[in-house]
Structure 1
Amino acid sequence: MTSQLDRPARFGHPGLDGAAAHCVALEETLVRLRTTQLPLLTAWGATLADRLPTGSRLLAAGNGGSAAQAQHLTAELVGRYQEERPAYSAISLHAETSSLTAIGNDYGFDELFARQVAAHGRPGDVLVTMSTSGTSRNLLRAAEVARDLGVTVWAMTGPRPNPLAAAADAALCVEADRTATVQEAHLVALHLICAAFDASLTPRRLSA
């Protein structure tokens, strides 16, 4: 985490201490996630279950805390979430340190992920971009390159409106006024994606 979202506190809780207010804000955010976003997350998991077993891959990227979240997602797919299953291709672009530093040195910070998407992305792949602000220029450039290649772009961000959500094919936008709360909701969301992925794979394994 690097900064608070540049937004007024719409979900503040006067009278509560910091820890209690944090917990209440997270509870309210997760209720909104459950009541409004579950169909989207289920659909994302099902889409990955359609594509990854046929050779497509998931590319993921973020900055700072969002980089850790994106790497968590790829680890769940290459390893496993809960049920035993085959490994599937998922790459965290920010974890490719030699490529990252070479690209940053030669092309600039804005091209960190776009250059890697150009190298790895194929039609049918999915790029997941994670940003609490939705304004990270390097993720916007990655989304632009991905769309040109026929790669599906999903964004996980903080509140709408933001440029990254607008640039994506679909977006999960967490309505919360603190960076920490957005990132915590993103962690829950990526676990829900993985659960939906595994659930969608199960009938295919049984019919195989």
Structure 2
Amino acid sequence: MNNIIKNSLKNSLETNRKLLQDDQIHDNIILIARLCLDAFESGNKLLLCGNGGSASDAQHIASELSGRFYKDRSPLNAQALHVNSSYMTAVANDYGFSKTYERSVQAFGKKGDILIGISTSGNSSNVINAIKIAKEKKLITVGFTGIDGGKLNNICDYIIKIPSNDTARIQEGHILIGHIMCELIEKSLFS
């Protein structure tokens, strides 16, 4: 058991070390945070989607922005697309699971909004379909993925690729980047 603990911590530290040393990822974080700032200041919103742990990350990031992160302040319009379970199950039943987020973006997305699709593999069909419809509707599209980006690598306007193949380490990287973005956005808008 001790070996599992030490290996997990070691691998997490190694992934974070790679993130710390990657100036391209730093530049992308700043760019995406600025895009979010511009969207919020223009009355637009941030939509997020993912499956499983990535859905949890989407909801976590949305709640930090629409609730509060470090300081009491006005809420920002950030929404995780999976939180309406009746909608999700109805669309999954009637149209198939791959259409769940696509239909949400069709209903709620508008030009100038931002969609962040979170997928450790970069290959989740419902996230890919959401990104595609978002691009048609002129939303800014962002992918949070693992090391190779999967299919999202070729269709997102911007991408954050966590330098790992391990799902747990990728998810840890996603929430770390999400927290950093929340801090950048909050400090820029409410200082």
TM-score, normalised by the number of residues in structure 1 = 0.86
How far is 1:75 from its partner?
0.1
Question: Residue 45 of structure 1 contacts residue 200 of structure 1 at CA under 8 Å; is this kept in 2?
Answer: no
Question: Residue 69 of structure 2 contacts residue 183 of structure 2 at CA under 8 Å; is this kept in 1?
Answer: yes
1:127 to 89, 107, 115: 115
Aligned partner of 1:169 in structure 2 is: 157
Q: Which amino acid aligns with 1:43?
A: L
Aligned partner of 1:24 in structure 2 is: 10
Query: Are 2:41 and 1:49 equivalent residues in the alignment?
Result: no
Q: Which amino acid aligns with 2:11?
A: A
Query: Are 2:167 and 1:195 equivalent residues in the alignment?
Result: no
1:17-70 residue CA offsets vs partner (Å, 9 max, x unmatched): 221111111111111112212221122222211211321001110000100000
Identity of aligned residues (%): 32
Query: Are 2:69 and 1:77 equivalent residues in the alignment?
Result: no
Query: Are 2:19 and 1:33 equivalent residues in the alignment?
Result: yes
* 3-state SS in 2 of match to 1:84: coil
Q: Which amino acid aligns with 2:184?
A: A
* 3-state SS in 1 of match to 2:189: helix
How far is 1:161 from its partner?
4.4
* Higher mean displacement: 45-54 or 127-136: 45-54
Query: Are 2:133 and 1:145 equivalent residues in the alignment?
Result: yes
How far is 1:202 from its partner?
3.8
Residues 167/81 of structure 1: CA separation in 2 closer, same or farther (3 Å cut):
same
**Residues in 1 aligned to 2:186 and 2:161: alpha-carbon distance in whole angstroms:** 23
After superposition, the CA RMSD in angstroms is: 1.3
Query: Are 2:92 and 1:104 equivalent residues in the alignment?
Result: yes
How far is 1:200 from its partner?
2.0
Q: Which amino acid aligns with 2:72?
A: E
**Residues in 1 aligned to 2:7 and 2:114: alpha-carbon distance in whole angstroms:** 36
1:89-121 residue CA offsets vs partner (Å, 9 max, x unmatched): 111111111111111111111100000100000
2:167 to 174, 179, 197: 179
**Residues in 2 aligned to 1:201 and 1:44: alpha-carbon distance in whole angstroms:** 15
- Structure 2, gaps ≥5 residues long: none
Question: Residue 148 of structure 2 contacts residue 161 of structure 2 at CA under 8 Å; is this kept in 1?
Answer: yes
Larger radius of gyration: 1
Question: Residue 45 of structure 1 contacts residue 195 of structure 1 at CA under 8 Å; is this kept in 2?
Answer: no
TM-score, normalised by the number of residues in structure 2 = 0.94
Aligned partner of 1:11 in structure 2 is: none
Aligned partner of 1:89 in structure 2 is: 77
